[in-house]
Amino acid sequence: TPSLLSIVFGLFPGVPVFFFLSGFLVWNSVEKSDNIVEFGKKRFWRIFPQLWSANLIGIIAIIFTYTELTSYTKIAFYGLKSGILLIPGTPDFLNNYGCGTPNGALWTIYVTIQFYLVVYFIHKLLHGKCMLTWIMIIAASLVVAFVSNYSQYILPRNLYNIYNLTIFRYFWLFAIGSFVAEKRDKIIPFLKKYWLVFIGCV
């Protein structure tokens, strides 16, 4: 029987919540930025120092704990590829390390960065728009996400793996977060009042 704590945490799966919060917080960041350069600097310092630190710690852990490591050149190239060049994927020589990848959550960073690249322009298009416009955008992104579930049967395996790391199938989560940030004066008081009902429905 699952504990009450595990049930509560189960209501908030990590990746959807992370993307939703990214949409909410970054939308606010755009509003507080005077221009795109300032916004870009904020996003850079928000994500890359932490990414590089996590990447470095991961590489050190591999060097000291992975008995099958045979080449420091390979691990250095992997660190450069994943931490600096932001090229996703786990090389074959790490397939037996841990759960098959040094950092299984790293793919979410690639998706989030894609959102960073477009959110400033999306904000310019949607800021101040009515509820109906937002609902249509979210509905359209949900359709794309639904259709994306069947892309594995259409696309070649390598192309599907690449598509799976794009923003298209996850954009609806960012969009909902941005929507809540945009309409927070109306939505947040409503959620505060009916949050128990909302959790019950989830």
Greater pLDDT, 34 or 86:
34
In the predicted structure, residue 70 carries a pLDDT above the cut 70: yes
Q: Which of 64-68, 163-167, 187-191 has the highest mean pLDDT?
A: 163-167
* Tokens of residue 123, six digits: 């904000």
Where is average pLDDT lowest: 62-66, 82-86, 93-97? Answer: 82-86
Question: What mean pLDDT comes out for the span 13-38?
Answer: 89
pLDDT, one tens digit per residue, over 115-153 is: 999 999 999 999 999 999 999 999 999 999 888 888 888
Question: Backbone dihedral region of 86: left (phi > 0), alpha (psi from -120 to 50 degrees) or beta?
Answer: left
Residue in the block written with tokens 């691990």: 75
Contacts of 100 (CB under 8 A, 6+ apart): 90, 94
Is the Cβ–Cβ distance between 123 and 27 less than 8 Å? yes
pLDDT of residue 186: 86
Three-state SS at 7: helix
First-to-last CA distance in the chain? 20
* Tokens of residue 24, six digits: 């909410």
Question: What mean pLDDT comes out for the span 94-113?
Answer: 80
CA angle 137, 142, 146 (to 5 degrees): 150
pLDDT of residue 16: 84
pLDDT of residue 202: 52
Please indicate, yes or no, whether the overall pTM of this predicted structure exceeds 0.85: no
Is the Cβ–Cβ distance between 151 and 166 less than 8 Å? no
Greater pLDDT, 179 or 95:
179
CB crowding 180-193: b at 16 or more within 10 Å, else e: bbbeeeeeeeeeee
Q: Which of 141, 132, 199 minimizes the C-alpha distance to 175?
A: 141
pLDDT of residue 120: 94
In the predicted structure, residue 7 carries a pLDDT above the cut 50: no
